[in-house]
Structure 1
């Protein structure tokens, strides 16, 4: 059973498991299907918050449960309460659970000197934030702690995903450059000299990690990222190549010169890059795609969605809520003119 099957990670994961010989039940709130799934995949409607409905759908049991949307202690206990009916589980977590040696993490980024300075690359042994329910990071940490504590009853592989990219994403970071190219912007500004690195992960590489973990049950937390961590400038250039665009890039040393100028969704003052050694050693993980491999599909998905909506905020409301005004062209032009 795959919970959250019609989300951006769920779609390729269902396909990968079905093609690997699993008989898959694809559960989602809407009960829909993806066109890429084999006919044998069984799609069901499931409200994840309904404990009784989940237990009924699992029935006498399943060999594997894959959970794309688990979060916090309640979801962890929901799964462990069914441990006697689940052979093993794979659950999506996040690199945001990490904190640095000064106790800084993703939740302290906006504070003065609050951005975490992680080792490069980050191993799974790096300390994590205290579990809680107040933020996404603490909720994921609580989920991890509860599930790993139940290792004797339920083998669980936790996949700490990086910056997820691919079709059907509701917060695609690539939007930042795709829309600028579509709008014919001739210049763009990049903070931190365009050298920021925030480790991405393709939904197809996540699906491959799930597939491998399904065949090798165990209790562990593993980083889940692409084979490389390109810089923001490299990402921008790769998107330009796919779109046939050639804007001028203006690099700024240090942080964004104005609140809405040069601050991309990847812009970080120090690298956030994960060590993928453990996934290779424990699962035999070999990435199936690189970041550049997936860009044509991602760009096409974003372009079509923008065309279907009158405003980018309507197309991607969660992106707007998370990052604010990403396309303040007036502020960009004013700053560029002032140089």
Structure 2
């Protein structure tokens, strides 16, 4: 996002807890250290005012009120939300997916008009919904574009789903089990495509909600094949009907019983959006980053948040026992 905005001629101030700079940022970008939980620190970073504030770490109504309190000093805002706010017509969403029959069955493609979960503090999804409600209610005072991002991917990601395939290839695992016959589709969102939406929304202030996903939603098997091609590997997929056949077997970070595939027609219509890249085009950079981060390290050390979120993704003993 920093590169996209700076390249458009914006004077960019990047605020983070560490206050560091990206190695590929233009020289004119100003880096500021601040914790967004500190209202005074954020207000100080905004200073006398800014034309656009881009918020990638807003997670609830308190953060929304923090932004609206600065409305007099912010021309407009672009805030990252999530496709996890959606629920299906039976009231099922990501918060119910672990219950029997609880995974949502969304229309394909999923549009911004789909109903959303009840706002609240119970979960990531309900907090994002509460964030949206608060910000949309302040539209007259602070124009805001809410971007409902899918499965975000790209270099620097702390929870890269691609790790599931990359590490297996590095470990010489040439057979891999895929639940749901490898046909699951969970719509990815490249950071470059999200940045392009931010760039366009910054130039066209307004109050709106838009999906933020890639132009394609490949299957799990398709993702594996694309990663294999990048790594120069040939692997065999063992396709299983239905859910994972055993604990630790066949369950990838994209494996879902029903597709989550979003439409981008609203962004095309309202912003003139065109994607920067397709999923497979982003993989060489992502795979190389993961390989560098894994080099000489246990994967849990390299990606502690991944281990915390998904548990043991590499139970090779369980896989071998099931395959046998």
Mark the CA change 1:50 to 1:18 in structure 2 (over 3 Å): closer, same or farther: same
Aligned to 1:171: 159
Match of 2:311? 324
Residue in structure 1 matching 2:261, options 259, 264, 273? 273
Structure 2 portions without partners, runs of 5+: none
Are positions 1:111 and 2:99 aligned together?
A: yes
CA contact (8 A) 2:64 2:131 kept: yes
User: SS of the counterpart of 1:160?
Assistant: strand
- In structure 2, how many angstroms separate the alpha carbons of the residues matched to 1:186 and 1:23? 49
Runs of 4+ aligned structure 1 residues displaced above 3 Å come to none
The aligned length equals 324
1:133 corresponds to which of 110, 121, 128: 121
Secondary structure of the residue aligned to 2:131 is helix
Which residue does the alignment assign to 1:29? 17
Q: Distance in 2 between matches of 1:257 and 1:308?
A: 32
Could you state the TM-score of these two structures normalised by the residue count of structure 1? 0.95
1:192 aligns with 2:173: no
In 2, Cα distance between the equivalents of 1:99 and 1:297? 33
SS for the counterpart of 2:300 is helix
The match for 1:183 is 171
Picking from 219, 222, 229, the partner of 1:234 is 222
> Any residues of structure 2 matched to 1:29-178 within 5 Å, and which?
29-178=17-166
Q: Secondary structure at the match of 1:101?
A: coil
Indicate if the aligned counterparts of 2:15 and 2:45 stay in contact, CA closer than 8 A. no
Structure 2 Cα separation of the partners of residues 248 and 54 of structure 1: 51
Instruction: Say whether residues 1:313 and 2:300 are aligned partners.
Output: yes
Report how far residue 219 of structure 1 moved.
0.5
- Partner secondary structure for residue 93 of structure 1: strand
TM-superposition CA deviations, 1:246-298 (whole Å, max 9, x none) = 11110001110012100000000010000100000001110011101110000
Quote the RMSD (CA, aligned, Å).
0.6
The Cα offsets for residues 28-73 of structure 1, whole Å up to 9 and x where unpaired, read as 0000001111100000101111101111121211000000001101
Q: Which position in structure 1 is the counterpart of 2:271?
A: 283
Report the Cα distance in structure 2 between the residues aligned to 1:321 and 1:42, rounded to whole angstroms: 33
Aligned residue among 227, 241, 248 for 1:253: 241
Distance in 1 (CA, whole Å) between partners of 2:305 and 2:46 is: 31
CA apart distance, 1:308: 4.9
